[in-house]
Chain A
Amino acid sequence: MSYASSLYFTGTEIGLSLAGLVLLLVVAWTGAKSARVITILAVSALVGAIAFTASLPTGSPADGFNSAFGGLLRMDSFAVFAKILIYLATIACLIITPRFFEERDGYRGEYPVLMLFGAIGMGMMVSATNLMTLYIGLELSSLSSYVFASFLRSDWRSNEAGLKYFILGALASGIILYGMSLVYGFAGTTDYSGIRAAFSTHFPIGALFGVVFVLAGLAFKIAAVPFHMWTPDVYEGAPTPVTAFFASAPKVAAIGMLVRMALVPFGGEVEAWRQIVIFASIASIVVGALGAIGQQNLKRLLAYSSINNVGFLLVGLAAATPAGASAILIYLVIYVAMTLGSFSALLMLRDKEGQPLETFADISGLSTTRPGLAWCLLFVMFSLAGIPPLFGFWAKFVVFQAAVQAGLVPLAAIGIAASVIGAFYYLRFIKVMFFDESKREPEQTSPMGHWVVLVVSVIVISPLGYFATPWLGSVASQAAAALFAVA
């Protein structure tokens, strides 16, 4: 490993940090009036980061040439895949953000800058091959998230969401850190392959405690049951563009980090963590499906939907096979598209005064008042429900296929049963929009950016997405192979 190659493989982080620092200076001098320009510049920095990441040589999975700084992080094809997805989701969130804040407290240039720093943290999370890198990336992305949650300072719900998220996030970080210290104590190293080597001969009971603590903390971060209680409150209270962000990019990062952590350092002790993951998975699917049924607030409902989706993602992790890991990556792509589509539609739902329409009663009869929007939402909801012609079905299919191949037939059966229950509330959206009487008159026009995000995500999840399956499948399985080659 030379210094030059280390710098080359961390090029995205370095480039994004420099962009963030320069933009921060610009914000400091020009103030709030340049916020939109800063947003555009931040988006172009992220586009540059995507281009650079995509151009990195990933090589064959086995050779470690893409390790940087003595194994602190690895830019393998798994990291490249997850990073590009994270940056794309961040860009989409930046596009749909400005109008929301401009109409309330005022949009500020610090928002896109913090978004860039958060993106750096998330990139570090998915490429970390050392517990220290992982923790620093996690904190970098979490700290910017706490700020986003309470960005709407005049709104007490936003403040409450920020405080709740901060306290529970800090608690989760502490739990993770404690677990890491146990793992470090028993393995004698923080390096992933070193931990795996140390545990391959002897796996002490204390290290098992460490693994459980780390998994519990990570379950907090991905909002898996039983550590999901904060999700509905935070998702409802946080400003809607911020909720869109929480449900997309950080979730990809946390899942990516969890997958790498479970399969690389603890990959030799699959039996030690598999039952935990299976429990969290079933519980998340069931709680996500049942909890959403009574909800009237659309943001709360989408929060339960994200808990439900995390459960399906964990099904793929429980398989602990390359097929399972690649299924998770495919699921993540489709999940991000569905999430961003539903939240940008939610942002477009406003009445004539610009007040958000946030409950089921508000969107009744949308098919007559805003037919275009209603049809897009129909696609998104059918896809979330996993109804076959749409791409959401494919996501669930690959995950369950991986679980069945790994011999987890009962898990797959429970998951499929619960996804039928979950379909109820997605279909309720469609019933309310298409078959109920319209009560409130929604605003007729929406900004271009929101439409672009919505239409792009609808195209991704439409049956057209199936044309991409051979390509997506091969990229995802190559990325998943990178995790298993380390062992």
Chain B
Amino acid sequence: MSLRRFLHRRYWDEERVREVEAHLAEEIDHNSARGMTPQEARRQAYIKFGNPTVVREEIRQMNSFVLMENLGRDLRYGVRQLFRSRGFAAIAILTLALGIGVNTAIFSITNGLFFSSLHIRDEGRVVEMGFEQKGDSWQPSLSMPEYREVRDGTLNVFSEVIAERIYLDGLSAQGNKPDRVLSSYVTGNYFQMLGVEPFLGRLFRPSEGATPGSDPVMVLSYQYWKEHFAGDPNIIGRQVAVNSYPVTVIGVAPRNFRGLVTAPQVQVYLPAAMIMPIDHEPLATFNKEDSRSKHLFGRLRPGVTRQQADAALALVARRLAVEHPDSEKDAALRSFPLYAGRLGDLDSQSIYMTVSAFFLGLAGLVLLLACVNVANLLLVRASVREREMVIRSALGAQRSRLIRQMMTESLLLALLGGIAGVGLGAWGSSMLSSMNLNIDLPVHFDFGFDSHVLLFSVTIALLAGTVVGIVPAIRLGHANLNLILREGGRGVAGGRSRFRDALVVLQVGSALMLLIIAALFTRSLAESAHANLGFNSANVLLLTMDPSEIGYKDVQTRDFYQGLLEHVRALPGVDSATIAGSTPMGYVNSGFDTVTVSGDQPSAGHAAPSLNYNVIGPDYFRTMQISLDEGRGFTDVDKESSPNVGIVSAAMAKKYWPNQDPIGRQFSMSRDPTHPIEVIGVAHDVRYQGFSGPIDPYFYLPFQQHYATNSLNTLEIRTAGDPVELISEVERSIHNIAPMLPVFEVKTLHESLYSPNGLLIFQVAAGLAGIMGTLGLILAVVGVYGVLSYVVSRRTAEIGIRMALGARRGDILRSVYRQGLWIVGIGLVFGLAGAFAIAHLLGSMIVVSATDPATYLSVSAILAAIAMLACYIPARRAMHVDPMKALRTE
């Protein structure tokens, strides 16, 4: 066959037909000349020639690529078939679309979180450093001195090491009200190491960022430049103010570079040492050995593995521990691979990975259910179409051709389902991308569609098509066609197939697994939402602000808050008001420091403990309704000039002063070891992070004694009525005192619990699992119903005979029911076992027990009840079979 002939195959077909006609005419003439009658001449000519159609077909086949032509024909035939049974096609396509859509959406999240590009040079060679000291989690934070040690001590493995610190600042252009920005203070070699080129102007030089205050320059992110400077091309050289400190814009980062650290998007970049003048960080703190607030990244030298890098880092850690025994004892360092859209601790990456994998698994289960349903539908159709297949095979179609035809049809279904599924998935992932995170941060999740997602969707669509199509195809391959032809496809008994039963068992089992997981998540959400967190979240309004963003310092900050609190307390409808550095489940933590308790020697091999603390205003415990177990709260007595005081949590009291009275005891903090803090009260335990597990020791310090380092605060107001009604009035009060001060995170305390650090993750998980559980339930019920209906329709004759022989309706009902319940029962057992096996993978994602018997039992009962209903309808139909009619239709 040649391409030329293929392209001109219609022309050649006509040519040869004409030629053959001419030949026959010649032959007829020839025969007539030999004296035959016209009829005989014609007959003999045809006998001599053979079948012209076969000749034509043979030539045509020579001109075509047979496989391709067949495929085209199969496709056309398939489309016609699907179009003829539109109902079936719609259900099958919708079912597959749901399965593929769920997978696409979940995969797009995983893809966005772990596989999307950071758009830096040679991404795979950049690693992040983790620090670990007290045997708990690997933290992505190190101090500036540690950065220098790492940089200088790993020259053989890293070509360059950079440090980055994320901060919140107020950026004011042309004296306008400042805008809160997520800023990144980076070492001068940051952009050079990442291989990022400027979109406009220039980026930092390696020399910049080392000396405090010497490089007042700034680089904008592309998105911030677009949104807040309207993409002004003349931005370079512009003077702006960061926390009232003047800096010059020198460049704009490229469009697709969105920073390295977290899901929130960095908006401006500043040289590392600029944090001192801008955020008033003392040089001593900047250079403090254990002031660990920087992310470190290194670029591996060519040929160096992460293991080699880790060995070099271990050496650095050992040297640090020897040289600084008080702050670096037992320090450990290692590298971690870099992920896009990182969330939280370095360790928790693997948790998010596990969770993503888990949800992909659940989505896979939904797809499996969808495939089983469609396969079942196709099986039913296949038996209806048995006669068609038999006739076609009797007319000479090869069995392989018929199987190919069936496969083409199911792949066509899967492809259509895939297209619809990708649409559904795109919608789902855009919903997830635009999910309300309940925080005032420029968070950007890119769950969009890229080539990875598309490839994934197409792959699973084809996989689904094959899985779905292979079952009826195999059946056809094994079928005894002659037998079917003789029976006319209407066996008296039969209709029961072990294979079909197994499919239903699989469906019921998978659905139960999905539902149990969904129920575990939902119960975790409910349990967490109603957990006793140690405070009363009702009727509290929160507003966060940071006067340093408008250049306020020390006393100015203190006086601002003092005046504001006086003003707010006087407003009608306000019960009490206070300020605090940390809010429960918030993302700003006012303090974390190493604590030394007098008289308490950390046991051998353990470094001094690091604890979280909260710097609070007066009336804090009253406003939050946290009960004081012992002693007193902070009052006006606790001034800057009076001795340092603190209030410890019950957990802290119990840990450091067991069976003793903690009041009057002392402890000191690493950042100010010369001024010990005297315990004046013990507060009830409060959950500031997380909803389950033991509550860590915690303590409180009075704002009056610590205002210099705590200008970012949340105003907390307990109201008599709906707190939302007070928002505008309180904002007006703030505006009256400090017109330029930006206010953010304005919401109720209750709302703030649904933040990413709070209930949001449970909410999302419960929502996703719930959607998949519901899909699973629907698919399983449709599956059970469909199969039983089919079985009943095939058994109509048998039922008719039984009834004619005297079986009562109840017997028939029971017989059909028994069959249905039997498969549902086995399915439930498999589902319970499956859920039991996978639920423990959820770990800390759920707060209820992974084997919670109440959940398992109630969900099984619900599924069983619904499945029974699905059995009932076909069983009832069987009961009402009219024996005479049933027998006559045979």
Co-assembled chains A and B: no
Spell out B's residues near A (CB within 8 Å).
none
